[in-house]
Amino acid sequence: MPPKPLPGFRDFYPEQLAERAYIFDTWRRVVRRYAFVEYDGPPLESLDLYTQKSGDEIVTQLYNFVDKGGRDVALRPEMTPTFARMVGARAQALRKPVRWFSLPQLFRYERTQKGRLREHFQLNVDIVGEADVLADAELLSVAIDIMRALQLTSHDVKARVSDRRLLNALLTHLGVVDSALPAVYAVLDKLERQPREISAEKLGEAGLTGAVQEAILGFATLDFQTLRATYGTSEIVAPHVARFAEYLSHGTALGIDEWIRFDLTIVRGLAYYTGIVFELFDAVGEFRAICGGGRYDNLLASLGGTDLPALGFGMGDVVLGELLRARGRMPAVGAAIDVWVAQSPESREYPAASLQAATALRAGGLAVEFALRSQRIEKQFEAAKKAGARNVIVVEPSDDGTVSYRARTASGEVALDNIEALTGWASTTTGIAT
Amino acid sequence: MPPKPLPGFRDFYPEQLAERAYIFDTWRRVVRRYAFVEYDGPPLESLDLYTQKSGDEIVTQLYNFVDKGGRDVALRPEMTPTFARMVGARAQALRKPVRWFSLPQLFRYERTQKGRLREHFQLNVDIVGEADVLADAELLSVAIDIMRALQLTSHDVKARVSDRRLLNALLTHLGVVDSALPAVYAVLDKLERQPREISAEKLGEAGLTGAVQEAILGFATLDFQTLRATYGTSEIVAPHVARFAEYLSHGTALGIDEWIRFDLTIVRGLAYYTGIVFELFDAVGEFRAICGGGRYDNLLASLGGTDLPALGFGMGDVVLGELLRARGRMPAVGAAIDVWVAQSPESREYPAASLQAATALRAGGLAVEFALRSQRIEKQFEAAKKAGARNVIVVEPSDDGTVSYRARTASGEVALDNIEALTGWASTTTGIAT
């Protein structure tokens, strides 16, 4: 038997599954506060769903094959095409704005490295049908509130935010022609990682020299106040400055202003995003991006004819898990067992009396275990301890037909003389409440 | 863009996802009461993980292909091989009995029909390391408690239970030789669905005639009391009758006796099961099996050298969902929005005051939505109604810098004069508690 999963794939033993469940539960809890509803699609889709959006070159990264019916199919590498297909099929009927989220597992055949496997789970949160910048602020607030709910602060994580339209206006104002934009974007994307001379050289090759080149090289440290002061009076730039200021003002009202860092070097997919874009990073810069997203107003139309403005983000579980562990914010796995029911095999009504007690406790919602074979009571206590049970209840039927229960809790011993008392005790004792 | 998912695959729009979540949540809630812990494995595994267990013929039903690294891989058609691999890799270290569950999505390339798609989700519950029949009773109790938690009763669902060892002993007692067993099993499996003459003919072909044939044909209606009275004194049969009686007695203590129907025609996978086997069916017999499982003591050893007794069941989401809908037990989807926050765009501090209110309410755990663009207050009320919001709060900043809140609940109107009062009200009002 192959002893391991395929390279880049994870086994989730109960310890790992508990960590995954902590992340999933937090994701769901927070996005529901924002009135998003969950959807899901198939993990296997037609190959052309992906090539239509990303071109044939994406196929080199896919788990694609021909199924037994001769169809070209692929494991989903991202959720957006499925989302676009599903929204497109019911575009008329759906209440706008559509506020949907999903937690798909995604698959890419890539070289595995730190923070990047061949599968991961990714929270997808999308809003469809709203062009107003308030939707952009609301979306970022969801991502940041998830950080908060995971006990991360604005000292741990920063949201680096840019605006594709503001950037374009700025470049137009500086005299950059459209044909030079891809070169500028490529430079901006690497501005913090590659030597300034190389960036300058690449801008020069695109015909951008002198003051324009200097200005672009300065984008890495250009904060919004300085941008506003420097370019805010330009007729081309002004409306975009105003809109971004409104975005920031909404962010303040939503309580996320401390997390936001204006950063024109956040570029993201060129053919995809049309407005405000953002990425969440750990403040130290130790990990890959935790989350990325933005406005993609043209994508739905280009994929399926649903011409609706849209915005969304994806947040993966791998980098987030690494960050939580590194910052000591991944909670320890709690004991799964509230009560261990024990009974001496020599006692009357063994094991029926303890099975009845277990059934009553389980009906009350408690997690209950007991020995599945006849064992000395000492052995049962050992098993309870090894299992991490929070309490042990010893069931003791007596000759007169009554049954008594001794509950060994962390704080001592409680004696209860009937099963109703036991159930009542179990459901009110905070030590074992679920 | 392809308008639909692949044949046999499901899109889960929010309405369908809510039904799936109801089933998943119930599964998790019940199995955790039984102190099972969740695990998961990759949906894609090495092909030989499956052929090793089921032979090469299973490949015709698989989504299998060669990945970009030249590996023969397959989408998982069942969870047990992954489970066996994972348990096998840590067999020494794991606490026994292992009590694990998982909710994998499984994939088979089959002809699609009612209750059978090309993917489904299947709750897998397994116990490893316990040979005692109490473990068998505990396992069945999990499956039945799930039915109860889904508001199904013993009038809706029956657990048909057999015992492979008891059946074998019975057949040995009747003089059936080992070589004839496969033919007998095949007849038993179809005994209720095919004409008695055909069953008789097939038994005859296997050399089983006269009283033996009659006895086997009578297995369809043989209840356990009659079996015990008829064969209980046979030296070969007696120990198996005793063990099965003990199983039933545990079932009574666990409160599941009304659900159990002894049924020797429950055969299940021949090469797989070794002891008590069971299937859950709707009592009317309208649907496919809801759940199937049993004891498979030899499988782990045959797959990977972990020689531990084991038992488990699988319960799919498709048939279960059909049954719940048919019996009117699938709950209606509740409104996802606790509070809609409204504010007149002409009022002071628009929209900051309502964003602050929304943020405070969300921090209190409530699901909150508001209009993402400037709209007349009447339009906002319409939107709240259309969204099914349980309450509307109108935020009204006044000239003196204070903000008041009017809460329109189902039971009237509440006026609150500050955000703390609003948050307190929202967190204590049962009408909008989450």
Going by C-alpha positions, the residue among A368, A388, A419 that lies closest to residue B33 is A368
Contact B4 A63 (CB under 8 A): no
Q: Is B286 helix (H, G, I), strand (E, B) or coil?
A: coil
In Å, the largest CA–CA distance within chain B is 101
pLDDT of A432 over the 60 cut: no
B44 DSSP 8-state letter: E
Contact B44 A119 (CB under 8 A): yes
Contact B42 A374 (CB under 8 A): no
Residues of A in contact with B107 (CB under 8 A): 44
From A5's Cα to the closest Cα of chain B, the distance in A is 6
Question: In whole numbers, what is the pLDDT of chain B averaged over residues?
Answer: 93
pTM for this entry: 0.95
pLDDT at A1: 55
pLDDT at B1: 55
- Tell me: the pLDDT tens digits for A257-301? 999 999 999 988 777 899 999 999 999 999 999 999 999 999 888
For CA atoms B287, B297, B130, B104, give the dihedral sign: negative
* Band of residue A115 on the pLDDT scale cut at 50, 70, 90: confident
pLDDT at A2: 53
Nearest to B35 among A10, A107, A368 (CB): A368
Question: In whole numbers, what is the pLDDT of chain A averaged over residues?
Answer: 93
List strands edge to edge, sheet with A391-397.
A368-370, A339-342, A391-397, A403-409, A412-416
Helices and strands in chain B, H and E counts: 15, 17
- Tell me: the pLDDT tens digits for A175-212? 999 999 999 999 999 998 899 999 999 999 999 999 99
Q: Is B264 helix (H, G, I), strand (E, B) or coil?
A: coil
Q: Are A97 and A130 in contact (CB under 8 A)?
A: yes
Contact B351 A134 (CB under 8 A): yes
What letters, b where the CB count within 10 A reaches 16 and e where it falls short, cover A302-315? bbbebebbbbbbbb
pLDDT at A336: 82
Neighbours of B97 (CB within 10 A): 24
Chain centroid to Cα B339, Å, comes to 33
- B391 or A123, greater pLDDT: A123
pLDDT at A433: 38
Contact pairs from chain A to chain B, CB under 8 Å:
258
Nearest to B6 among A32, A73, A134 (CB): A73
The H or E element that residue B163 is part of is strand B157-163
Structure tokens at A25: 């539960």
- A222 or B427, greater pLDDT: A222
Chain B residue with minimum CA distance to A67: B63
From A45's Cα to the closest Cα of chain B, the distance in A is 6
Nearest to B373 among A4, A45, A134 (CB): A134
Nearest to A39 among B13, B60, B145 (CB): B13
- What's the whole-number mean pLDDT along residues A94-123? 93
Averages of pLDDT over runs of 10 residues in chain B (434 residues) are 85 97 98 97 96 88 96 97 94 94 96 86 98 98 98 97 96 95 93 93 95 95 96 96 98 98 89 93 94 94 86 97 97 87 96 96 94 96 92 93 86 81 75 44
Chain A residue with minimum CA distance to B43: A9
Secondary structure of chain A as H, E, C letters:
CCCCCCCCCCCECHHHHHHHHHHHHHHHHHHHHCCCEECECCCEEEHHHHHHHHCHHHHHHCCEEECCCCCEEEECCCCHHHHHHHHHHCCCCCCCCEEEEECCEEECCCCCECCECCEEEEEEEEEECCCCHHHHHHHHHHHHHHHHHCCCCCCCEEEEEEEHHHHHHHHHHCCCCHHHHHHHHHHHHHCCCCCHHHHHHHHHHCCCCHHHHHHHHHHHHCCHHHHHHHHCCCCCCHHHHHHHHHHHHHHHHCCCHHHEEECCCCCCCCCCCCCEEEEEEECCCCCCCCEEEEECCCHHHHHHCCCCCEEEEEEEHHHHHHHHHHCCCCCCCCCCCCEEEECCCCCCCCCHHHHHHHHHHHHCCCCEEECCCCCCHHHHHHHHHHCCCCEEEEEEECCCCCEEEEEEECCEEEEECCHHHHHHHHHHCHHHCC
pLDDT of A431 over the 70 cut: no
Contact A69 B7 (CB under 8 A): yes
Q: Is B391 helix (H, G, I), strand (E, B) or coil?
A: strand
- What's the whole-number mean pLDDT along residues A352-371? 95
Q: What is the separation, in whole angstroms, between the first and last Cα of chain B?
A: 39
- Tell me: the pLDDT tens digits for A22-80? 999 999 999 999 999 999 999 999 999 999 888 888 899 999 999 999 999 999 999 99
Nearest to A362 among B10, B33, B66 (CB): B33
pLDDT at A434: 37
Neighbours of A190 (CB within 10 A): 15
